[in-house]
Amino acid sequence: DFIAFNFFKDFIFKRKERYFLDLGSFARNEFIKRGFKEKNVLDTQFCSQCLESFYSFRRDKTQDRTLSFILQR
């Protein structure tokens, strides 16, 4: 069962019989846990599936992929 993964338990929610991972909150929490200052961790709350100006595999059903990098100075 997916919920058995305690690592994500605080970031999983259920909507209409489907489970979702709040990846933004999980990432924010991990950065702060690893020493980033809270004021330097920004979550824009943008939804790539909802906003047409962003690429979304779930919305567009294409073979394209996206790649992200996070760097610390």
Q: 68 in a domain, yes or no?
A: no
Locate 23 and state its tokens. 């990846």
pTM over 0.85: no
Q: 30 in a domain, yes or no?
A: yes
Q: 23 in a domain, yes or no?
A: yes
> What is the total count of domains within the chain?
1
Q: What span, in angstroms and rounded, lies between the C-alpha atoms of 38 and 40?
A: 5
Q: 67 in a domain, yes or no?
A: no
The one-digit pLDDT tens for each residue of the chain (73 residues) are 555 567 788 888 888 988 888 888 998 999 999 999 999 998 888 888 888 888 888 888 888 777 777 777 7
Q: 71 in a domain, yes or no?
A: no
Q: 37 in a domain, yes or no?
A: yes
Q: What span, in angstroms and rounded, lies between the C-alpha atoms of 12 and 34?
A: 21
Owning domain of residue 45? 2-60
